[in-house]
Structure 1
């Protein structure tokens, strides 16, 4: 009896679990999910998220016309740039004036390089960001309480799918598994996902610096 070959989504989960757990347990993430960040700290995090989504989504819009795998998986409804713009406006921040932290700048460079040299790595990045929506209901609840948010204000990007979240995630998994990636392509996806998890932790480190200085 032989073990079944793991799907690409099973590989992504298993081969990034260590970094997923580290990112989830990071001091910045814990503070955010417990509602202990100041509004200013949270807005600064949103600025970094905006910069990442703006660059990555622009690449995805362009590259999915050339790469069937991206076209099969990346949907317009997954894009977050416009929602993050709305959230930043609520917190009084100007999205286009956002400045990257060193870790964000490094990630933007990785996105640029991947777009040019190994576009499938961007889909690994995308996997991490799309998967992060699975904690949306918990984070939204914490932020609404911490910042006394009115209905639909300041949290547009957190829970974009509402009650359809589970179905949307299942659809994403099905689309990823349906592409038929080779082992080498799956390796590239895993590398991209690990890059994103590592970047999230480094950005968290940057954002904590002013509070600990």
Structure 2
């Protein structure tokens, strides 16, 4: 989970913000996503000493150098010989950077659905590139962290976005009829659950 104690967050804040700013400095959305992929993949490689999951050659040399410096800085701050603490802090870093890029940072525009799915695809691709034996404790932790980052990104960010789109555009099959034109009230879409929330 990314919600580590605040005293454990302080040492990472500046580098997280700098990383998000570097990624969002790319004007092209695909370039932003590939820069994010470069960052996450190289951070993972520093931990498992595996092979790259992505080949990205377009990065500006100065931008690439700064991202690699940030990655080395994160690695230098990770707890030694404590995989459980590493799991929380790695999750915090990955989630903070990704959520910032999704629009939580002032540097980023709010992400649309396709952008979100691209990030999810990046994370799954890197997950499948995690290197090492299944009995390796670090490998087990890395796989657990990546799946949690994916799940929590959906729960906290993408599902909220989708609910906003339901409210804006209507659900797919409200009232047993596929929707395309008429607006359907949100309480009809979500039924009794929504009414109970409003009354409580």
Which TM-score applies when normalising by structure 2? Answer: 0.30
Between Structure 1 and Structure 2, the one with more helix by share is 1
Structure with max Cα Rg: 2
Considering Cα pairs closer than 8 Å and 6+ residues apart, tell me whether 1 or 2 has the greater RCO.
1
Which TM-score applies when normalising by structure 1? Answer: 0.28
